Structure 1
Amino acid sequence: MSQTGKFFRARNVPRATLRRLRVIPSYFFLVWRWSMWLYAFIVIVFSQPSYIDTPAVNYKSMATLLLTITFIETLIVTLYAPVLQIVFPRLLSSASRQRKEQEQLERLHQQAEDDAEILPPFMQTRNHYWNIAIYSADVIICGLIMYYSGPFSNPPFGLGSPFYRYGMSTVFAAAAAFRYRGGLIAALGYDLFALLGMFVHAPGAVPYTPNAVDVVGSLIDTPILAILVAYLSNLLENYARSKRLERENARTQAALVHIGETLLKSTGDRQELLQRSIKPIQNGRFDRLTIVLIDLQQHEDAPVGVGTTQSNMITCTETALPSEQLPHDSESLLQKVLRSRQKFMSFEPLENEHSGIARLYLPLHKDGHIQLVLAAESIRMTPFRPQHEKFLTIAGTQLLVALENIRLAEQTVQLAADAERGRIARDIHDGIAQLTYMLSLQAETCEAQAQRIIEASEEDAELLAPLAERLGKMVTISKQALWETRNYMFSLKPLMSGTTTLTQMLSNQLREFQAISDLPTHLTVEGSDASYEEQRLRSRRYAQIGTTFFRIVQEALTNAYKHAHATRLDVYLRYQSDHIEVDICDNGRGLPTPASNDPQQAIEEPHILSGHGMGGMRERTTELGGDFSVLSPATGGTTIRASIPL
């Protein structure tokens, strides 16, 4: 390959179909303007003016001035044409910016292919009025050049000027940039200078009587050119848009297929799923992509955006730029999206005016709650377009489906575990519990019969007394075994299911405990759960609170029965507006005095039932954000208090 070919290829000459379509108007404009300037140069240099009044004006001076002005104007327009900056991206860079800025510009031009329309002949600014001023100035300059060069030929206005076709390029430029309206306005302005030369001859023009052919030829060409260029520009833009849309659809389908394959390979871990899927979503589309998964189970009872902290969010970020180029302030924007429950889109221009930071925060909802937020950020020349939002919506929906599959799989495992636990509980109830109950009854019957024999016969009393004592211990042990067996049953089967309330559950628990242990128990309820709304009563957190209170009461009753030597138990259940509180009080011997100064040792019990004693009750309470305390009232005994917020 020749050095020229390598030179152009190294500077990213537009070779793709879409790139060629985008720069066609710029190429045509530059070719037209330079060709017509060369044409005017040849006409002026090699033709002898026969229609100019030489005493009135210096022909050579005027021709040199006009050629110089048009050459400078054409050169400036060429240097600042978008097509030249694509072909020679480093040509206009200053020494202070050079490599770093131009690499960023090249990346932006590459990234903007999917967003930019047909490139205009002149470099446009972000200010619409500046653009109008630039194109208007070009019309005025070209019109004046045509006006003062009119006397060089016949007729001394309009098409008689050697710069007439040169000046028509300004109509070409306006029609390519602003379509029909801009092209026709520029043609009208250009024709006004032709009319000016027709009625007010330029300096040096000889007397001339206009005829219909010259007048029509000078006025009709530019409107026709404007209409034709605007029409062709619209065709090119529509075709380029269709090609761009076709390519975007192909890229989107390929990306979604890749995302789908990634989701199929994912495991049941949510964090791993996000890490595997974020790269295919971000790749080649966004400079930085953040996926935030909201754990609905932890804040489903709170308003959206309230109480949503890092503890109940899983965040994954994939970035292609360092933080100094793309500032990271996603936390505040994320909280704003969570509060408003609406997408957030913005574009902040950077200081160099070539680009800006485009942001798109897209929330995805499930059951009225925001479960997923996709935050895309890029340094771009334009804001994000609807196809970016559509792509994120489709990709996020696929991700939600995968997350829902994980949840359903976990729920299936949980249901299977609950079913198995229920089966074991039924087997214990129908087997071991029944046998233990029968053993307890038989032991009580034997003890009662031995007592009757002792009371009836003094001779046998001495022999049967040890037997009666052993039978009494057997009754106690059998009742304790029955109580613990029923505790295991309740630990296995679901607690707050169906329409069972917390009050009913604790009432049943205390009734059964009293029947087995023969210890008087009493439940006092302050307030009612009827004061809570239906949504809260059916929430998962309320069920967790009920289960926790049941386990705490169960543990406390077992401790009081086995270790406190209590003769009465009182349970107080209090429904408050923002929390629920339970007190379990006994009149037993109280807590043992610790041998050391460690207060934690005073409340630690041997491994009873749950395997954790007082520590297990404390852990159950604090897991739900509640408070747990063990009190020793002045009247004696022990009070266990647990308070859990709703």
Structure 2
Amino acid sequence: MSQSGKIFRARNVPVATLRRLRVIPSYFFLIWRWGMWLYAFIVIVFSQPSYIDTPGTNYHTMAALLLTITFIETLIVTLYAPVLQIVFPRLLSRASRQRKKQGRREHLHEQLEDGAEILPPFVQTRNHYWNIAIYSMDVVICGLVMYFSGPFSNPPFGLGSPFYRYGMSTVFAAASAFSYKGGLLAALGYNLFALLGMFVHAPGAVPYTPNAVDVVGSLVDTPILAVLVAYLSNLLENYAHSKRQERENARTQAALVHIGETLLKSTGDRQELLQRSIKPIQHGRFDRLTIALVDLLHDEDVPIGPRAQQSKTIICTESTISTDALPDDSENLIQKVLHNKQKLLTFDPLKNEQSGIARLYVPLHIDGHVQLVLGAESLRMTPFKPQHEKFLTIAGTQLLVALENIRLAEQTVQLAADAERGRIARDIHDGIAQLTYMLSLQAETCEAQAQRIIEASEEDAELIAPLAERLGKMVTISKQALWETRNYMFSLKPLMSGSTTLTQMLDNQLREFQAISDLPTHLTVEGSDQDYEEQRLHSRRYAQIGTTFFRIVQEALTNAYKHAQATRLEVCLRYHADHIEVDICDNGRGMPTRLNGTPDIKESYLAVEEPHILSGHGMGGMRERAAELGGQFNVLTTPAGGTTIRVSIPL
């Protein structure tokens, strides 16, 4: 047994103790009713010689009839009492026992969680008015029995009836079920039959003049009984509720300790963490538990689409019941909670059953965004209660803390990797990049000197020409080496770190490209990122958008230099309310077109013969980068020549 179970076992109140507290009023009611029926039976049997039949009344027949009616009534009340399974379990048929066993199995959570409620003496239905009608009918029957049995003794009403104490049990039952109001109303109704017997004597009654003792004795007992029973029932209910709360707190603390132990043993994998923590949360409380994690590595400012939203949600489910008995609609309910950002509490009654399907889905937020959803489903008699929501909230908060620790650990690793890449980029810049740049300058100087010698001396031109050609290739290769080196530097170091904006990043990129390629470049900016919210500018998605634009512009510039034979490049950056758009335009030869008029990108690559600076993954890579963020990628050509690459990515 785990340490948590040892800690909280002493504080756990046994379920049997709560069950005994719940059924105390019912026990007393049944004992009272059967005892008073037996008392009436003894009184009638042993007082039989004193009864004198009258022309209108046969006391023997009346006594037998009243005893039979009260016996049948008491037997029916007993057989349909909620405590029948405890008092007379063997009176049930096998089918009834199986149904009750099935009901106990289906409503195990109900018995554990609603154990503080006092069981009513009579059968209890879902309809409150039916319950009132049942208790009212019992008051009427007991009152009529008392009224017609009044002539058996003196006085011929109320206290003189052998069934007077038997009928008082109906006041006991009403006070137990409906507290003070119900008990006093039942006492009033019962006393009305006593007053009826006082002023309108029952058949067979002898003339009698009421006195104060008989009147007070017949009317004061039932109100006092109603008040006492209601008071004691409230005390029992409050005591049982406190014990129930103590036991529930102990179970909750033990469960939370178990969950905490599970989280401490967790690894850095989110999926594994959810799988290991779902059982301790679900065990003994819910028939099915679903945990949905919205991936914290993705930004949730604006959903990209249904498929992207689904791909960023990790769902784990643990169930102890089949889908036939408890249909699984958790995915749709989770999507509804993610959309509304509010808890979902429903209860669907089952046909021809007393139970229903209770569902509770609780969202947990971080910075206003839903990051975790815990969904509980069970077959119950009633909907889930606030303590269930509280438990799921506490357990979910612990789980969120563990997930946040995983994210911080990953972020620490990422920051360390970024720092190391930054160091390597600085070393490349201060070392090999500078040497390559000097080599490129020296090669260009030598090539220019060789060209001047060729132009100055025709005799040396034949000897110097091969050298000039090799020097030209060396210049191209050195520029390619410098280009690749600086590409590595940009790939290693963060692109939008600190206060660097997207506009500044692209401007620096164009300056770098112009310095290497000697192609004039120009950046045009429409709008400003200052119109966006501060939270959006520092979000992870905005950083991803900046990185994607940098890589696409880098590839487009390189392809233009490599294939287009352009003499000028234009980049236009447009900030819109819901998206950002970038155009990369050149004045080169354009692209060959297919028969349908679309650009033939592959053919344009194959047409290149001259050695140029090599590049990366081409148009396919740029299109994939844009699609990853839900953006659009288009290649446009004009009849006058030139190519425009247009990329649009939603915020």
Question: Could you tell me how far apart the structure 2 residues matched to 1:98 and 1:40 are?
Answer: 34
Shift of 1:200: 2.5
Amino acid at match of 1:313: T
Query: What SS is found at the alignment partner of 2:573?
Result: strand
Deviation at 1:118, TM superposition (A): 0.4
Tell me if the contact between 1:33 and 1:169 (Cα under 8 Å) persists in the aligned partners.
Answer: yes
Which residue of the partner structure matches residue 426 of structure 1? 426
CA distance, structure 1, for counterparts of residue 531 and residue 252 of structure 2: 52
Tell me, in whole angstroms, the C-alpha distance in 2 between the residues paired with 1:623 and 1:92. Answer: 66
Q: For 1:620 and 1:587, how far apart are their aligned partners in 2?
A: 25
CA RMSD of aligned residues (A): 3.1
Q: Equivalent residue for 2:7?
A: none
In structure 1, the partner of 2:522 is 522
Distance 1:442 1:109, change over 3 A: closer
Q: Aligned partners of 2:421 and 2:614: how far apart in 1?
A: 17
**Is 2:484 the partner of 1:484?**
yes
Paired letter, 1:617: M
Q: Which residue of 2 aligns with 1:395?
A: 395
1:74 aligns with 2:74: yes
Q: Deviations over 1:92-133 (max 9, x none)?
A: 6797x9846751355326633421510000111122222111
Contact 2:569 2:585 in 1 (8 A): yes
The aligned residue for residue 112 of structure 1 is: 111
Tell me what 1:612 maps to. Answer: 617
User: What is the percent sequence identity of the aligned residues?
Assistant: 82
CA distance in 1 between counterparts of 2:349 and 2:447 reads 93
Q: Name the counterpart of 1:319.
A: 319
Q: Does 1:569 align with 2:569?
A: yes
What is aligned with 1:9? none
- Measured in 2, the distance between the counterparts of 1:432 and 1:89 equals 91
Deviation, 1:358, is: 1.8
Equivalent runs, 1:146-545 vs 2, <5 Å: 146-295=146-295, 298=298, 300-302=300-302, 309-352=309-352, 354-454=354-454, 460-545=460-545
Could you tell me how far 1:332 is from its partner in structure 2? 4.5
Contact persistence 1:51–1:205 (CA under 8 A): no
CA shift in 2, pair 1:49/1:144, >3 Å: farther
Ranked by relative contact order (alpha carbons within 8 Å, sequence separation 6 or more), the top structure is: 2
Supply the AA of the counterpart residue of 1:327: P
Segments of 5+ residues of structure 1 without an aligned counterpart are 1-13
Q: How much has 1:35 moved relative to structure 2?
A: 1.3
Which SS does the other structure have where 2:107 is aligned?
A: helix
CA contact (8 A) 1:304 1:339 kept: no
Equivalent AA in structure 1 for residue 516 of structure 2: I
Question: How far apart, in 1, do the equivalents of 2:308 and 2:338 lie?
Answer: 8
Counterpart of 2:40 in structure 1 is 40
Pick one of 598, 616, 629 that aligns with 2:634. 629
Q: CA deviation at 1:548?
A: 0.8
Q: 1:443 to 1:418 in 2, by over 3 A?
A: same
Deviation at 1:615, TM superposition (A): 2.4
Corresponding residue to 1:642 among 636, 641, 647: 647
Contact 2:51 2:152 in 1 (8 A): yes
Instruction: State the one-letter code of the partner of 1:622.
Output: A
Tell me how far 1:232 sits from its aligned partner: 1.7
Within 1, Cα distance between the matches of 2:51 and 2:305? Answer: 82
Q: Residues 119-158 of structure 1: matches in 2 within 5 Å? A: 119-158=119-158
Shift in alpha-carbon separation, 1:297–1:88, aligned structure 2, 3 A? farther
Q: Contact 2:591 / 2:599 at 8 angstroms: preserved in 1? A: no
Q: Which residue of 2 aligns with 1:103?
A: 102
Q: Is the 8 Å Cα contact of residues 29 and 169 (structure 2) preserved in structure 1?
A: yes
User: Secondary structure in 2 aligned to 1:519?
Assistant: coil
**Most deviating of 519-528 and 236-245:** 519-528
Q: How far apart are residue 328 of structure 1 and its match? A: 3.4
Amino acid at match of 1:262: T
Report the CA distance between 1:571 and its aligned residue: 2.5
d(CA) in 2 for partners of 1:308 and 1:219?
76
What's the secondary structure of 1:16's corresponding residue? helix
CA contact (8 A) 1:496 1:502 kept: yes
Q: Label 1:383 to 1:89 Cα distance change in 2 as closer, same or farther (>3 A).
A: farther
Q: Is the 8 A contact 1:443 1:475 kept in 2?
A: yes
Is contact 1:604–1:613 with CA below 8 Å preserved after alignment? no
Q: Distance in 1 between matches of 2:92 and 2:308?
A: 50
Q: 1:15 to 1:402 in 2, by over 3 A?
A: closer
Q: How many residues align?
A: 630
Normalised by the length of structure 2, the TM-score is 0.88
- What amino acid is the match of 1:141? I
Contact 2:561 2:613 in 1 (8 A): no
* Residue deviations 1:520-551 (CA, integer Å, cap 9, x gap): 22233344434444443333222211111111
TM-score (norm 1): 0.89
* Deviations 1:610-639, CA, capped at 9 Å, x for gaps: 753332222211111122234454334544
